[in-house]
Structure 1
């Protein structure tokens, strides 16, 4: 399954995301939150310099095409040249395209680079959640669990619990997965996300 299958979903479609099932749903939520974080920054930093950087980011982002290496190189240069929020957002976009090309190592490296530029805790959380998903796909559950430890804030509890449960289950720790998902069910998450986590718990052996 593609890690970022819902990248192009509009932010307002988040209201309908929880009608879906499986990991792609959680990924879609993470991506949607990432878009909201980016939009908040665009609105809060509209001085002259920020407008220029914002315009440059939008141009680079809209031109990205996984089948066109030149657009990937342009985005990578933008991310490298801008050690700020826009650089981090470019890293998010670029990592998705690397996933499209099945270049998981490059995607992970780009997200780690973005983390060095991100100052906002929510943006950092989005980067770390995406990184943990990739690390799981790379069959590195222990690394993914370590990445999840960096995510703070009650608003992320259920999504972190979902990924943590998947990581523990991949290690054969059924009880650990059950406890992780149970924490997500007990959190202040949407009812449908809780139902999804409960369904995963119900499907566990024993």
Structure 2
């Protein structure tokens, strides 16, 4: 507002300004209060959901340690369905996939690995799931499908991916290309240390000299 010479003029101007803008201000304050309240409520809700998901994951882990496989699968499935956006969902998918593998329930293995791949919480979990699914499809003789999961970002798992690629190429009857893939593992990172490196060297040895 402008500055007026008398208080009366200022008061009249204030009354006029309030008449024109008061409703909008009140609405803005109410909306702001609602927004703050909604954000606070959302934060509380998110925290509660995270705590519930954490509890479910602890129960799942306990069942796995106790070899309660069927119970673990049920708990993992419930966690993924009830808390799909939590950070525990992709981890639970990996855990349950492993349990299902031990139970020889391969369709469940593939389903849970695919769930881990489809999530967007952790690239590392996606990369592990893709590698495991590729290996599973390789064992089923589905080599082309397996190769699809070996493409894309592999993060710190490049050596393990190249080893899996070499295994598939060898199974397809391409020893030359398989050798190249195995040799790439030594150019990868430290994920190929230890048993993995020894395993690859054994595979290279079985292929003989160039």
TM over 0.5, yes or no? yes
In the TM superposition, what is the alpha-carbon distance from 1:67 to its structure 2 partner? 6.0
In the TM superposition, what is the alpha-carbon distance from 1:59 to its structure 2 partner? 1.0
Instruction: Choose from 114, 126, 142 the match for 2:144.
Output: 142
Larger RCO (alpha carbons 8 Å, 6+ apart): 1
In the TM superposition, what is the alpha-carbon distance from 1:191 to its structure 2 partner? 4.9
CA distance in 2, matches of 1:94, 1:118: 18
What residue number does 2:112 align with? 110
CA distance in 2, matches of 1:112, 1:68: 20
CA-atom RMSD in angstroms: 2.3
Deviations, residues 82-127 of structure 1 (Å, cap 9, x unaligned): 2132111111111111111111121011110122224321111111
List 4+ stretches of structure 1 deviating above 6 A.
Answer: none
Structure 1 unpaired stretches of 5+: 1-45
CA distance in 1, matches of 2:193, 2:91: 30
What residue number does 2:25 align with? none
CA distance in 1, matches of 2:75, 2:56: 11
CA distance in 2, matches of 1:73, 1:56: 11
Residue pair 1:124, 1:151 contacting (<8 A) in 2 also: no
Q: Within the alignment, does 1:50 sit opposite 2:50 as a pair?
A: yes
Residue pair 1:99, 1:107 contacting (<8 A) in 2 also: yes
Residue pair 1:131, 1:144 contacting (<8 A) in 2 also: yes
Equivalenced residue count is 160
Give the alignment's TM-score, normalised by structure 2: 0.67
CA distance in 1, matches of 2:207, 2:198: 14
Residue pair 2:63, 2:71 contacting (<8 A) in 1 also: no
What residue number does 2:128 align with? 126
Residue pair 2:166, 2:181 contacting (<8 A) in 1 also: yes
In the TM superposition, what is the alpha-carbon distance from 1:137 to its structure 2 partner? 1.9
Secondary structure at 1:119 match in 2:
coil
In the TM superposition, what is the alpha-carbon distance from 1:182 to its structure 2 partner? 0.8
Distance 1:69 1:196, change over 3 A: closer
Distance 1:87 1:191, change over 3 A: closer
Residue pair 2:169, 2:175 contacting (<8 A) in 1 also: yes
CA distance in 1, matches of 2:198, 2:99: 31
Q: Within the alignment, does 1:196 sit opposite 2:199 as a pair?
A: yes
Q: Within the alignment, does 1:63 sit opposite 2:63 as a pair?
A: yes
